[in-house]
Chains A and B, each alone.
Chain A
């Protein structure tokens, strides 16, 4: 186990939807790792992406994809990409955060552009929307 403390899980009663888990995790699990990567340098150091960082990444994606911040409509945006899981998930949740409907498919992680291999995302079962 990476951390002795259990993360606080988002409730499943509908009070927190997928994009709202960003703010939920900022409040309850900000320092908790959402993703952990091996480093390429051969040492046993790992790169941790905390929920604070992942959530901010989603917000940055929201800014990039809907810079006008006009969320009065809810258009569908298709997403087809060969990229790594980390960027892919941040963009998908970021689109949801910007109130865009995502048309996507998740079986595409054949190519990792980032060094390292994800060794754990056990705390992301709700927050990162691996769906």
Chain B
């Protein structure tokens, strides 16, 4: 979700996508988070929302730029059931130019297709760069 959205829009999107956990940069977005909590409470006082700080860079990239095979690492276990390609992988949302932003579910299949078309676009631009560089 974009922090450019209003607290009302974010609260609406959280409820529409049934999100009960919100991962956020609580320090840099403290006012926004506070307003979102208030908006949710106003819409539905019983709605549970757990707000968490996102993991720090040095936790996720402890060897930033230097990681090698021998560095300490514990793989995450395999997931129990592989999701079908038709299942939702993530939610994006519309810009909200015609009202409150709407939730746009993205399936695994859609994201794979998207990735494929992006590859084509990038290769096209690299080709263009070569053709136009003297």
Contact = CB atoms under 8 A, between A and B. Distances in A.
B21 to A, nearest CB: 4
Interface residues of B, number: 66
B61 A129 contact: no
A34 B88 CA distance: 25
B29 A96 contact: no
B69 A103 contact: no
Contact-size category for A: 35 or more
Contacts, number: 198
A59 B55 CA distance: 12
Interface string A13-42: 010111000000000001000000100000
B60 A80 contact: no
Given A105-B2, A106-B92, A113-B57, 13 more contacts: A12-B115, A14-B108, A50-B67, A64-B55, A74-B83, A77-B21, A83-B54, A90-B60, A91-B23, A91-B60, A101-B90, A101-B91, A131-B106
B28 A49 contact: no
Interface in B1-30: 1-5, 10, 13-14, 17-25, 28-29
Interface of A: 9-10, 12, 14, 16-18, 30, 37, 47-50, 52-53, 56-57, 59-65, 69, 71-72, 74-84, 86-87, 90-92, 94-99, 101-108, 111, 113-114, 122, 125-126, 129-131
B60 A57 contact: yes
B55 A103 contact: no
B126 interface: yes
Contacts of B1: 78-80, 103-105
Contacts of B61: 49, 53, 57, 86-87, 90
A5 B111 CA distance: 26
